[in-house]
Amino acid sequence: MKILLAKPRGLCAGVKRAINIVELALKKYGAPIYVLHELVHNKYIINNLLKQGVIFIENFSEIPDNSVLIFSAHGVSKSIRQEAYSRNFNVILDATCPLVKKNHIKVTKANNKGNEVILIGHHGHPEINSTIGQYNNDKGGIYLIKNIKDVYNLKVKNINKLLFITQTTFSIDDASNIINELTKSFPNIIGQIKSDICYATINRQKAIKKIAKKSDLILIVGSKNSSNSNRLLELILKINKPAYLIDCVNDINIEWLRNIKIIGLTAGASVPNILILQILKKLKKLGVKHVIEMQANDEKMFFTLPKILK
């Protein structure tokens, strides 16, 4: 057997920034540090931070006064942000990914102009909740859709004042198809697909397409609640290639590898490199002789940290 290793893979700049913020806060203020929701969607990272004294909460009532609070990488709504600053916390830090925040700004600007927003994304995801929470519905409307059928059922107040925005971790292909239908139904709608779906999502989807063509089986490292990891899985299943989403090396089923010659391996944008190395080590023990890295794009993105932590 041999492995085709996708590049880029694993941690993106937004996830690295969020982890750095929490670890630097631990160093500066000491444990415990409170994070609203899971910082990022990866079990290994969450468990590692728990061991360091991070407490993940869902309600402000769980946080004592004078504590340190951090918003997760997925962002928070305006109302939650306002409530946080109205409480007696010692320090509030924002680990929201800058590319998610970019969508927040777009929603706010559209709202201020009286434009309605069509948001393409997955119901219940914390990024979607935070983005919807930037809009004041008294001035218009924000509508969530996730497929073409939703486009046909969509009813807005003013077809001439519409903007669409895409969840940063959405499928490129699915978004393109949905946007094509949106522009047919609402010719005056404005928006740009590539400016919303983040660079890491685009690059990882391109990279997995490249290795999928030559692989018999695809392993995707990522947690079950990771949006971008699930989109990688869906992409491969749509082309009828066997694929599995695994959290760690222990999830590998030896039966999957029976009669397999070429394994494609990639990882979602919230996966640390240690998990990939552990999987490579295991697969080599199971008979892999060669690991070939296949590059689709180069990544040099970097996001700065809050000044208070520098």
- In the chain, domain spans: 2-11+199-295, 13-97, 99-197
3-class secondary structure, 233: helix
CATH topology of domain 99-197: Cobalt-precorrin-4 Transmethylase; domain 1 (3.40.1010)
**Matching CATH number, 13-97, of 3.30.1330.10, 3.30.450.20, 3.40.50.11270, 3.40.1830.10:** 3.40.50.11270
- Integer Cα distance of 287 and 302 in angstroms: 37
Q: How far apart are CA 291 and CA 281, in angstroms?
A: 11
pLDDT over 90, % of the chain: 95
The confidence band for 266, taking pLDDT boundaries of 50, 70 and 90, is: very high
- Give me the pLDDT at residue 192, please: 83
Q: What does the pLDDT average to over 224-248?
A: 96
13-97 and 99-197, same CATH topology: no
CA gap 48, 14 in Å, rounded: 18
Grouping H, G, I as helix, E, B as strand and the rest as coil, residue 117 is: strand
DSSP of 46-109? HHHHHHTTEEEESSGGGS-TT-EEEE-TT---HHHHHHHHHS--SEEEE---HHHHHHHHHHHH
Residue 190's pLDDT is 94
Predicted local distance difference test score (pLDDT) of residue 35: 98
Half-sphere exposure of 104 (CA within 13 A, CB side): 20
Tokens (6 digits) for 222: 């990522």
pLDDT of residue 76: 98
> Is 228 annotated to bind ligand?
yes
Mean pLDDT of 254-272: 97
CA 14, CA 42: separation in Å to the nearest integer? Answer: 14
pLDDT of residue 140: 73
Q: pLDDT, tens digit, for every residue of 175-214? A: 999 999 999 999 999 998 778 999 999 999 999 999 999 9
At 19, list the tokens: 């982890």
Enumerate residues 6+ apart whose C-beta is below 8 A from 195.
none
Contact 108, 152 (CB under 8 A): no
The answer on whether 226 is annotated among ligand-binding residues is yes
What's the pLDDT score for residue 137? 77
104 is in an annotated binding site: no
Is 162 a residue whose pLDDT tops 80? yes
Place of tokens 């920034």: 17
Domain 2-11+199-295 indexed as CATH 3.30.420.40: no
3-state SS assignment for residue 254: helix
Whether residue 126 has a cis bond before it, omega within 30° of 0 = no
Is 310's pLDDT higher than 90? Answer: no
pTM metric for this prediction: 0.95
What is the structure's pLDDT at 130? 98
Q: Would the pLDDT of 91 be above 90?
A: yes
227 is in an annotated binding site: yes
Nearest to 266 by CA among 300, 301, 241: 241
Q: What is the mean pLDDT of residues 65-79?
A: 97
- Alpha carbon distance 97, 73 (integer Å): 5
**Element holding 199 (H helix, E strand):** helix 199-212
**130 appears as a binding residue in the annotation:** no
Known catalytic residues are 127
Mean pLDDT score of the chain: 96
Residue 139: predicted pLDDT? 63
Question: What's the pLDDT tens digit per position in 113-158?
Answer: 999 999 999 999 999 999 999 998 766 799 999 999 999 999 999 9
Retrieve residue 40's tokens.
Answer: 């990022």
